[in-house]
Amino acid sequence: MVLEVKNVSKVFGGLRAVHEASFQVKENSITGLIGPNGAGKSTLFNCIAGYYPPSAGEIFFKQEKTSGFTADEIAKRGLARTFQTPQGFAQMTVMENLMVVPKGQVGEKPWQGLINGKKVKEQEEEIRKKAFKLLADFGLSEQKNDLIANLSAGEARIVEIARQLMLDPEVLLLDEPAAGINPALQNHLIQVLLKLRQQGLTLLIVDHNLGFISSLCDYIYVLHLGQIIAEGTPQEIFRNPRVVEVYLGGIA
């Protein structure tokens, strides 16, 4: 298990957003976390990524306890996330957005950046190549010099995924990746995600859109009112009466 969430709770003021949720993500799987709006998905997601400290419970990433770590420490360990509304460095180009990310950049130390020695230059070249290749894979080569602020919502989402891949993550957490993207781009996104899995990446996808998630996931957890109420393969989930009641019933 690359990611284990054990009895995690999160309370805001008096509000219990997540209550003793436990689940696991297997290496190289695509795992889904679904639930209707307000189920606590995003809260749980933010606990895993280190944006909120959990009120109780523990989270393990690669057998290391990461609950209590800051978001950047978790990201550096190889757990990359995206946001529900894509977040980027708006007044910087697509290329710059990607080049910011890699860990251990020597030139990030001010004196090294100032001297701009051989090591820094070599590393910059490497990073540039890597970013260029990623953008090509995602079909975004032409936009490399565009400002993030000028991208469409769909492009911004794909750039965000590409940017987070610059971390060389082992697990990628995606928060409603299909939201606000047209069907053509959605298909493209599905192809991209399946290919990433083939390359060895583990994906955890949070969504309330069952259609998108069921075509991708090997295993799904259902969150309702802050608690995990069901788990199984997509087929099992669709047949689970509890899920049908609280989730599908709620939508119909």
Give the residues lining the site for another protein (CB under 8 A): 49, 51, 70-72, 75-76, 80-83, 87-93, 95-97, 99-101, 103, 105-110, 112-114, 116, 120, 123-124, 128, 144-145, 147, 160, 163-164, 166-167
Taking the complex as a whole, how short is the minimal distance between the CB of residue 154 and another protein, in angstroms?
18
What's the maximum distance between 2 C-alpha atoms anywhere in the chain?
65
Phi first, then psi: what are they for 51, rounded to 5°?
Answer: -85, -30
Contact at 8 Å (CB) between 227 and 215? no
Taking the complex as a whole, how short is the minimal distance between the CB of residue 144 and another protein, in angstroms?
8
Q: Angle at Cα 83 formed by Cα 244 and Cα 6, nearest 5°?
A: 60
Give the DSSP H/E element, type plus range, for residue 96: helix 94-100
Taking the complex as a whole, how short is the minimal distance between the CB of residue 249 and another protein, in angstroms?
30
* Residue among 130 and 144 whose Cβ is closer to another protein: 144
User: At which residue do the structure tokens 């192809």 appear?
Assistant: 191
Taking the complex as a whole, how short is the minimal distance between the CB of residue 99 and another protein, in angstroms?
7
* Residue among 161 and 246 whose Cβ is closer to another protein: 161
Contact at 8 Å (CB) between 144 and 94? yes
Give the torsion sign (CA, 249, 242, 49, 202).
negative
Q: Closest Cα to residue 35, out of 225, 217, 241, 235?
A: 225
Taking the complex as a whole, how short is the minimal distance between the CB of residue 160 and another protein, in angstroms?
8
Write the single-letter amino acid at 21.
Answer: A
Distance separating alpha carbons of residues 147 and 127, to the nearest angstrom: 19
Q: Closest Cα to residue 167, out of 205, 196, 206, 136?
A: 196
Taking the complex as a whole, how short is the minimal distance between the CB of residue 59 and another protein, in angstroms?
16
* Residue among 98 and 223 whose Cβ is closer to another protein: 98
* Residue among 159 and 220 whose Cβ is closer to another protein: 159
* Residue among 30 and 99 whose Cβ is closer to another protein: 99
* Residue among 37 and 145 whose Cβ is closer to another protein: 145
